[in-house]
Chains A and B, each alone.
Chain A
């Protein structure tokens, strides 16, 4: 186990709804990155949070937003859900002073939009 916990593990939402996914980072890790992994594809970077601020963003629309809390846990929010948002959402935590080799991924949240 990596120590990175995501919740929920699965959920089903209707197109147009909003969803919030949660990630508890590993103890001592202050950076959280979120990735979207469509079925049969590699993960795609959504954004990264460091010390409660967004610290880089991939090619995702503004309806994908996030938060990081003082305890370094994080949320990913997606508004106006579309069918193509169906995917496995992964978070990874790492200490900022270390390379990504120190990053640990959670098991992911499987989101299905119907």
Chain B
């Protein structure tokens, strides 16, 4: 499949560990922040989003934290599995209906 991970920051973890992927966003006016997962040969897949009036949001095995003071976003994946291996992108948007601005991405490698 296609590789989108060349020259990306890489996080290597063992299966079962918790993973934390970080992202710095650029626009203090952004109202929505989203995490996407992109596997080799596939398009980005929505994971979870958070609105700017929230600090934390939890999904299934994932938690997103937002720190507006330092314009920082993080994705926590609990009990990481080999199937979580992919490139993870954060994205920001001025509103829920406006276009997305993606960050550069982080490759997550999970070893059995």
B102 contact from A42, A104, A110, Cβ within 8 A:
A42
CA distance A41 to B8 in the complex (A): 8
Contacts of A56 in B (CB 8 A): 98-99
Contacts of A108 in B (CB 8 A): 2, 42-43
B101 touches A45 (CB 8 A): yes
| B window 1-31: CB within 8 A of A | 2-8
The verdict on A68 contacting chain B, using a C-beta distance below 8 Å, is no
Q: A40 and B46 in contact (CB under 8 A), knowing A45-B100, A100-B96? A: no
Q: A42 and B105 in contact (CB under 8 A), knowing A100-B96, A101-B49? A: yes
A100 touches B105 (CB 8 A): no
Q: A107 and B99 in contact (CB under 8 A), knowing A40-B4, A42-B105, A88-B2? A: no
- Can you list, as one digit per residue, whether each of A33-47 has a CB less than 8 Å from chain B (1) or not (0)? 101010111111100
B99 touches A99 (CB 8 A): no
CA distance A93 to B66 in the complex (A): 27
User: Taking the nearest CB of chain B, how far is it from the CB of A21, in angstroms?
Assistant: 13
Q: A100 and B6 in contact (CB under 8 A), knowing A92-B43, A107-B42? A: no
Residue among A37, A40, A42, A88 having the largest count of chain B Cβ atoms under 10 Å: A42
User: Taking the nearest CB of chain A, how far is it from the CB of B107, in angstroms?
Assistant: 10
The verdict on A76 contacting chain B, using a C-beta distance below 8 Å, is no
A40 touches B99 (CB 8 A): no
User: Taking the nearest CB of chain B, how far is it from the CB of A92, in angstroms?
Assistant: 7
B43 contact from A48, A100, A107, Cβ within 8 A:
A107
Residues of B at the A interface (CB closer than 8 Å) are 2-8, 32, 34, 41-46, 49, 89, 91, 93, 96-105
6 more CB-based (< 8 A) A-B contacts, given A44-B102, A45-B101, A107-B43 = A2-B45, A41-B104, A42-B91, A42-B103, A88-B2, A108-B43
Residues of A at the B interface (CB closer than 8 Å) are 2, 4, 33, 35, 37, 39-45, 48, 56, 58, 88, 90, 92, 96, 99-101, 103-108, 110
A-B CB contact pairs (8 Å), 12 listed: A2-B45, A42-B89, A42-B105, A43-B44, A44-B102, A45-B100, A90-B43, A100-B34, A100-B100, A105-B43, A105-B45, A108-B42
